[in-house]
A and B are shown apart, each in its own frame.
Chain A
Amino acid sequence: MANTKTDEKLQKIAKDLLESGEVSLIIGYTKGSNSQRMRPLFVTRTEDADKLSFSPNAVQDLAVFLKKAEVKKFGKIGIVVKGCDEKAVNALIQEYQISRDNIKIIGVECNGVIRQNIADKGETNVSESTVYDKCLICEEHIPVLYDFLVESEEPKLVLSGKVKPYSEIARLESMSSEEKNAFWANEFDKCIKCYACRQACPLCYCSRCIVEKNTPQWIDTNSEETGNAQWNLIRAYHLSGRCIGCGECERACPVNIPLMLINEKMAIDVYNMFGYKSGLDINAKPVFGVFSENDFNDFIK
C-alpha cells in the first residue's frame, strides 16, 4: 500500500530527528504482515524511517516499550503515540520512569482504532460499532502533550450514542455483592497466570512484580481460585488512579478476561472521589501520592 500523507509526515519527522541526532531511537508503527495489522517498529537508522506508518489498525500502545531496559539504553527516544498512549507517557514521566528531556513525543491525531478481531475479518471503516470502547469515551483524539503533531486525514468519529461504551460496568454496579463475586470468580477462573496483562501494560514497570516476591509469597502463583483472584485484584488496585485506559491488558489477555471493566470502573471511581484522571498532566501529583484533608473518608466507620 502506498504511503498516506500521515505516513509521509511521520517519516519526515523521524528522519529529521534521527539525522539531527536529537534522538537515537524512534518507536513507531509499520505495516504488518497483512493489511489489517500494524506492528511496532524500532528505527535507529535514517533510511529505515521510510517504513513508518500509521492507520486505524495501529492498536498497540507503544509506550509499553519505554519501560524496557533495552529501550532505555538508547537515551533519547522518539515515540509515535495516539492520545491514549500518550497519557501513558505522561504517567511514566509523573512516576519518574522517564524524563521529559529524554523523549520526543510524536503525537498522532487518532479518531479511533478498529477492534482487532473485526479488522481481521476485513473491517476497514472507523465507526462507533467498529472501534474499541476506549475510543468512544476518548477525550484526547489529539494528544494532550506532544513535540510534533501529525493531524489525521481520517473523518472524525461520529457518535450517535447508540453504542454504550463499557455498558457492562453499569450492569455490574446493579448487581449484588454475591452476583458480582460470582461474575468475577467465573472470569478469573479462566486466568492461566500468563501475566500477559502485566507485560502489555505500560504502567506495570516494576522490575520485581509483587507476584514474584516469595519471601513471603503474598500471591499464590498457581493458577487456582485464590491466587487468580489475588493476582487480578491486586493488579487492579495497583493501577487504580494510574491506569490511563489504553486497554492493552484486555487485548493481550489470551482468555478474554474483561479486565477493562475493573480498570475503567476504578478510573471512574477515582475521578468521582478525587477529581483525578491519570496521565493528563506531567506536573500533577498522582492521586495515590497526595493527601488532602478534604479527601472523602466516609468509608471509615
Chain B
Amino acid sequence: MARIGVFVCWCGSNIAGTVDVEKVREEAAKIPGVVSALDYKYMCSDPGQNSLRNIIKEKNLTGIVLAACSPHMHENTFRKAAAKEGLNPYFVEIANIREQVSWVHENKERATAKAVDLMKMMVEKVKRDKPIEDVRVPLNKKALVIGGGIAGIQAALDIANGGVEVILVEKEPSIGGKMIQLDETFPTLDCSSCIMTPKMVEANQHPNIKLYTYSEVEDISGYIGNFKIRIKKKARSVIEKDCTGCGECWNACPMHKNIKSEFNVNLSERTAIYVPFPQAVPLVPVLDRSVCLHFKKGGKCQKCYDACGPKCINFDLQDEIIEETVGAIVASTGYDLMDTSMYGEYGYGKYKDVVSGLQFERLLSASGPTEGVIKRPSDGKTPQTIVFVQCVGSRDPEKGVPYCSKVCCMYTAKHAKLFAHKVHGSQSYVFYIDIRSTSKGYEEFVRSTMEQDGAIYLRGRVSKIYEDDGKLIVKGADTLSGNQVEIAADMVVLATGVIPKQGSDKLAQMLGISYDKYGFFTESHPKLRPAESSTAGIFLAGMAQGPRDIPESVVSGSAAASKILGLFSKNEYEVEGTIANVNESTCVACFYCQRVCAYNAISKKEIKDRSGKLIKVVANVNPGLCTGCGACVNACFSKSIDVKGFMDDQIYAEIKALAI
C-alpha cells in the first residue's frame, strides 16, 4: 500500500505569491494513498529538509512528491535527503509549480488549479515508481587530447602532471598550434615561441604523455570511461627514433621552389622534406609526398636519403593505425582564419601587400621569412605607413560572421605597437568599429599604442583599397569626425575573423558532441559547465569553443584537465539509472530504436538457448551510453522500450490523474 508524502513549497513568495499553497496541500491530503501533506516556506532549507526526513521516518513513507521548483534546481537535494532515510532516491518526484506555474501565471485561482493538477499527476506517478539503481561504469584512466595547440598542450600537461597517462594527437607535423606562429603576445609582449617552446618540449618529454604528431583521430566509439580510439599516424617517410633533426635531408632536397610554407602562411617556401619551423616538436622532418620528386618521378630522386647520416629516411613507410582505449577526451582542435579574399574591395589575394594578421605576425617574427625585419611582400621594402583594418569578416552578418573574433582588437594594437618599435618614424592607422580590450592590462595596452606609439585610430569601415603608383590607397570613413579619409599606405593588414578549424564539425559528429551553427563546439552549460561538452566524458578547450585569447585558452585547457582528474579520482563513474530498458519478450528486432539513438547506445543482442541455438535477436541498451532521452521509446512500434522512471504505466496514470 502506497504511503505518499506531499510537500508543498512556498519558495518564499515566489510560489506562495501566485499559488494558494494551502489549497494545494489540502487537495493533496484528499488523494488516496497520501498519508502526509505539508506546506513550508523553504523546503530546500535545512529545517525544510529535516521535516521531510522526519516525516519519511514517522510515517514510513514509500514515496514523496515535492510541489516546488524545477527538478533542475533541487531534485538532487531531495533525492539525497530521501536516501538518507533509506528511501530509494528515485521515489522522489517533483511537481514544478514555480517555473511552470507561479512564474508564468498571474491569476491565482487558475494557477492554483494547475498546481493541484501537476501535484496530482506526480502523486499518481510516484505510486508507480520502482526502485532504480544508478549505473556504475568502470573508468579507463587514460585521456586523449585532440589538438596540440596551447589549450591542448596545457590540458595534456596538467592531466599528465596529475599522474594520468595522456595521448596527445596533432594533425600537423609539430605541436604548437597557432600560438607558435605568433610573434610577441599582448599585453606583455613576451615572445610567443619563448614561452611556448618550453611547454612543447615538456609535453614531448613527459613520461605520461604519448605524442602522435602528423596523426589524425579516425574513429571514436564507446562512452565515458571506455572510448575506443583509432588514430591514423600518417607516413612521415622518416624513422622517428633514428632521426636527429640535423637538417641534412632538407638542405639536400632539390624541391625548394614553389612549395609554399604553411607555417609562414605562404610568405616563404619550404622543401618537400621539411620541418615546419626550427623549434618544431618533435624535431623530425616530414616528407610531403604530394610534391616530392621521388614519388612524382618514379623513385629517381633520393638526395635526402643519400644525405641522411643515420639513414632514417624510408620511402616505403606506410600509414599506421593505432588503437587506444581512453576514459576521457579533450577536444581542442583550435581555429582557422576566414578566407578574406571574398572581400574584393580589400584586394586580399590581388595585392601582395595586403596581408592577413597572421601573415603580419610572421613578418614580425624573428624566426619568420624576413627574420623579424618588416618587409612588404611585393618588393621587400620596409613600409613606412601601414593601415590596419579591424573586423574583417567578424561582426559582419552579411558577408562574414555575426560574432566578434575577440582577439583582433588586441593583436592589431600589438601590431601597430611593434611596427612603431621596429620602424622608427613610421605611421600606422587603425580602422575599427569598437575597441574591445576588457582583460587585465588590455585597455592600458591599447591606450599606450595610441598615445605613446602614435597609432591613429579611426572609427569606421574601409570601403575600398586599390593600388596606385606603388602605394595602396585606402578609402574609408572616420565616423567620429564625419569625414571621408584616404590614406596612401605601403601595406595593409587585415584583422581576419576567426572560424572553427576546418573539419571540426566532422569531428564533433564522430565524438557525438554538439556544435553551434558556425561549427564551434558547444558547452554543456554556457556558464556553469563551460569545460564539458554535451556528452559525458568529453571535455572542451581552446578556440574550438569560440574565439578566445591565450590566457583564456590556457585556463580552459587546465579546466578540462581538472575535470578529467576529478573524474579519474574515482574508480567508477555513476550514471543516473533513468535509462532505456528493453522488453525482450516483445521486441521484434526492427532496430528503429538503434537508428534513432543519437548516442549509439543500442546494439543487437542474441538470445540463445542452453544448447547455444539462437532463439531471437533483440535490442540491447548500453547503460554507459544511454542518456535516457527517450527517442527509442517513440520509435518503437510494439512499445517494447521504456525509460526507467518514465514507464508507460506511469505516464498513463499521470494523464488519467488529469481526467479525474
Listed in ascending order, the chain A residues whose CB lies under 8 Å from chain B are 95-97, 205-210, 213, 215-216, 218, 238, 285-286, 288-291
Contact = CB atoms under 8 A, between A and B. Distances in A.
B592 A209 contact: no
A80 B637 CA distance: 28
Given A215-B648, A286-B592, 9 more contacts: A95-B592, A96-B617, A207-B586, A208-B586, A208-B638, A218-B648, A286-B595, A288-B595, A291-B598
Contacts of B592: 95, 286, 288-289
Contacts of A205: 588, 590
A36 to B, nearest CB: 36
A215 B596 CA distance: 25
14 contacts: A96-B617, A97-B589, A205-B588, A206-B586, A206-B638, A208-B585, A209-B638, A210-B637, A210-B639, A288-B592, A288-B595, A289-B595, A289-B635, A291-B596
Interface in B8-24: none
Interface in B567-613: 585-586, 588-592, 595-596, 598
Interface in B635-656: 635, 637-640, 648-649, 652-653
Contacts of B635: 288-289
A213 B639 contact: yes
Contacts, number: 55
Contacts of A216: 648-649, 652-653
A236 to B, nearest CB: 12
A238 B588 contact: no
Given A215-B648, A216-B649, A207 B588 contact: yes
Given A95-B591, A96-B591, A207-B588, A218 B639 contact: yes
- A-B complex: 7 closest residue pairs judged by Cβ atoms: A289-B595, A216-B652, A206-B638, A208-B586, A95-B590, A216-B649, A238-B637
Contacts of A213: 638-639, 648
Contacts of A288: 592, 595-596, 635
A205 B585 CA distance: 14
- Report which residue of B586, B598, B637 has the largest number of chain A beta carbons within 10 angstroms of its beta carbon: B637
Interface in B108-136: none
Given A207-B638, A210-B638, A286-B595, A96 B590 contact: yes
Interface string B615-649: 00100000000000000000101111000000011
A265 B649 CA distance: 33
Contacts of A218: 639, 648, 652
A289 B649 CA distance: 26
Nearest to A238: B637
Interface of B: 585-586, 588-592, 595-596, 598, 617, 635, 637-640, 648-649, 652-653
Given A205-B588, A208-B638, A238-B637, A290 B649 contact: no
B588 A206 contact: yes
B639 A96 contact: no
Contact of B596 (A97, A210, A289): A289
Contacts of A285: 595
Nearest to B637: A238
Contacts of A238: 637
A218 B638 CA distance: 12
A166 B585 CA distance: 39
Say whether chain B's binding surface is mostly helix, strand, loop, or mixed.
loop
Contacts of A97: 588-590
Contacts of A96: 589-591, 617
A288 B632 CA distance: 11
Contacts of A207: 586, 588, 638
- Report which residue of B590, B617, B635, B649 has the largest number of chain A beta carbons within 10 angstroms of its beta carbon: B590
A291 B634 CA distance: 14
Contacts of A289: 591-592, 595-596, 635
A242 to B, nearest CB: 9
A71 to B, nearest CB: 15
Nearest to A285: B595
A206 B592 CA distance: 13
Contacts of B653: 216
A215 B635 CA distance: 18
Nearest to A242: B637
Nearest to B586: A208
A264 B605 CA distance: 35
A157 B598 CA distance: 46
Contacts of B589: 96-97
Contacts of B648: 213, 215-216, 218
Contacts of B591: 95-96, 289
A238 B590 CA distance: 13
Contacts of B585: 208
Contacts of A290: 595
A210 B596 CA distance: 20
- Report which residue of A95, A209, A216 has the largest number of chain B beta carbons within 10 angstroms of its beta carbon: A216
A218 B649 CA distance: 9
Contacts of B590: 95-97, 205
B521 to A, nearest CB: 17
A215 B649 contact: yes
B456 to A, nearest CB: 46
- Report which residue of B617, B638, B649 has the largest number of chain A beta carbons within 10 angstroms of its beta carbon: B638
Nearest to A237: B637
A289 B595 CA distance: 5
A125 B591 CA distance: 43
Nearest to B616: A207
A208 B648 CA distance: 15
A97 B649 CA distance: 29
A213 B640 CA distance: 10
- Report which residue of B596, B598, B617 has the largest number of chain A beta carbons within 10 angstroms of its beta carbon: B596
A232 to B, nearest CB: 15
B655 to A, nearest CB: 9
A210 B652 CA distance: 14
Contacts of A286: 592, 595
A291 to B, nearest CB: 7
B595 A206 contact: no
A289 B594 CA distance: 8
Nearest to A213: B639
A148 B322 CA distance: 46
